[in-house]
A = this chain, B = another copy of it.
Amino acid sequence: MVVTDLVKRLLIGRKLASAQLGETLLPKRIALPVFASDALSSVAYAPDEILLTLSLAGMAALTFSWEIALAVGVVMAIVVMSYRQTVHAYPSGGGDYEVATVNLGPTAGLTVASALLVDYVLTVAVSVSSGIQNAKAMIPFLTGHEGIAAAVVILALMALNLRGVRESGALFAIPTYGFMLAVLGMTGWGLFRIFVLGEPLQAPTADLEVVAAPGYENFSGVLVVVLLARAFSSGCAALTGVEAISNGVPSFKEPKSRNAATTLGLLGTVSILMLAGIVALANLTGLKLIDESSGSSFLRDGDPADIAHETAMGQLARTVFDHFQPGFFVVIIATMVILFLAANTAFNGFPVLGSILARDGYLPRALHTRGDRLAYSNGIIALAVAAIGLVLAFNASVTSLIQLYVVGVFVSFTVSQLGMMRHWSRHLRTEKNPARRARMQRSRVINAIGLTGTGVVLIIVLASKFIYGAYLAVAAMALVFWLMRAIKRHYERVAREVAVSQTDVRMLPSRVRAVIFVTDVNKPTMRAVNFARASRANSIEAVTVAADDAEAARIVAEWEAQDVGVPIKLIASPYREVVEPFLTYVRGLRSDNPREVVCVYIPEYIVGHWWEQVLHNQTGLILKARLNFMQGVMTTSVPYQLASSRLAIERAERGSPAAWRHSGSGQVRMGEALDGHRRK
Residues of A within 8 A of B (CB): 14-15, 17-19, 359, 364-366, 369-372, 374, 487, 490-491, 494-495, 497-502, 504-505, 507-512, 521-527, 529-531, 533-537, 542, 546-548, 556, 558-560, 562-581, 583-585, 587-588, 597, 599, 604-606, 612, 614-616, 618-619, 622, 624, 627-631, 633-643, 645, 648-649, 663-665, 668-680
Contact = CB atoms under 8 A, between A and B. Distances in A.
Contact of A670 (B577, B583, B588, B635): B588
A558 to B, nearest CB: 8
Contacts of A578: 369-371
Contacts of A521: 500
19 contacts: A15-B575, A366-B619, A497-B642, A498-B523, A499-B523, A500-B562, A504-B527, A505-B562, A505-B565, A510-B534, A511-B534, A535-B536, A560-B677, A570-B671, A570-B672, A570-B674, A577-B663, A628-B637, A630-B639
Nearest to A634: B638
A542 B366 CA distance: 20
Contact of A500 (B522, B534, B643, B670): B522
Given A581-B668, A634-B637, 14 more contacts: A14-B575, A371-B578, A504-B523, A505-B565, A507-B530, A510-B534, A536-B536, A567-B676, A568-B675, A572-B670, A574-B668, A580-B665, A584-B665, A588-B670
A534 B567 contact: no
Contacts of A673: 569-570
A531 B509 contact: yes
A616 to B, nearest CB: 8
Contacts of A624: 637
A70 B510 CA distance: 81
B365 A672 contact: no
A641 B631 contact: yes
A605 B366 CA distance: 13
Nearest to A373: B577
Contact of A372 (B497, B507, B535, B577): B577
A562 B579 CA distance: 39
> What are the 4 closest A-B residue pairs judged by CB atoms, nearest first?
A572-B671, A366-B618, A17-B574, A371-B577
A56 B670 CA distance: 81
B374 A622 contact: yes
A566 B680 CA distance: 12
Contact of A629 (B614, B641, B672): B641
Contacts of A672: 570, 572
B19 A574 contact: yes
A22 to B, nearest CB: 14
A371 B580 contact: yes
A649 B631 CA distance: 12
A482 to B, nearest CB: 14
Nearest to A580: B664
A587 B571 CA distance: 38
Nearest to A525: B500
Nearest to A608: B629
A436 B35 CA distance: 93
A677 B526 CA distance: 15
A583 B578 CA distance: 34
Contacts of A490: 612, 615
A599 to B, nearest CB: 7
A569 B369 contact: no
A423 B622 CA distance: 41
B534 A522 contact: no
Contacts of A498: 522-524, 605, 640, 642
Nearest to A639: B628
Contact of A369 (B530, B577, B680): B577
A97 B296 CA distance: 69
Contacts of A558: 500
Contacts of A631: 641
Contact of A526 (B364, B504, B643): B504
Contacts of A365: 615, 618
B575 A663 contact: yes
A675 B543 CA distance: 10
The residue among A562, A614, A616, A636 with the most chain B CB atoms within 10 A of its own CB is: A636
B372 A575 contact: yes
Contacts of A680: 560, 563
Nearest to A490: B615
Contacts of A645: 629
Contact of A563 (B19, B505, B630): B505
B635 A637 contact: yes
Contact of A643 (B497, B547, B548, B614): B497
A359 B673 CA distance: 52
B509 A526 contact: no
Nearest to A664: B580
Contacts of A536: 512, 535-537
B634 A670 contact: no
Contacts of A641: 628-629, 631
A554 to B, nearest CB: 12
Contact of A556 (B372, B562, B580, B674): B674
Contact of A569 (B497, B556, B579, B675): B675
A126 to B, nearest CB: 29
Nearest to A577: B371
B637 A676 contact: no
B676 A370 contact: no
A664 B649 CA distance: 40
Contacts of A574: 17-19, 668-669
Contacts of A369: 547-548, 576-578, 619
Given A618-B370, A633-B639, A635-B636, A572 B606 contact: no
The residue among A494, A537, A588 with the most chain B CB atoms within 10 A of its own CB is: A494
Contacts of A534: 508-512, 597
A639 B649 contact: no
Given A580-B668, A643-B497, A668-B572, A634 B634 contact: no
A674 B560 CA distance: 11
B508 A370 contact: no
A337 to B, nearest CB: 31
A364 to B, nearest CB: 5
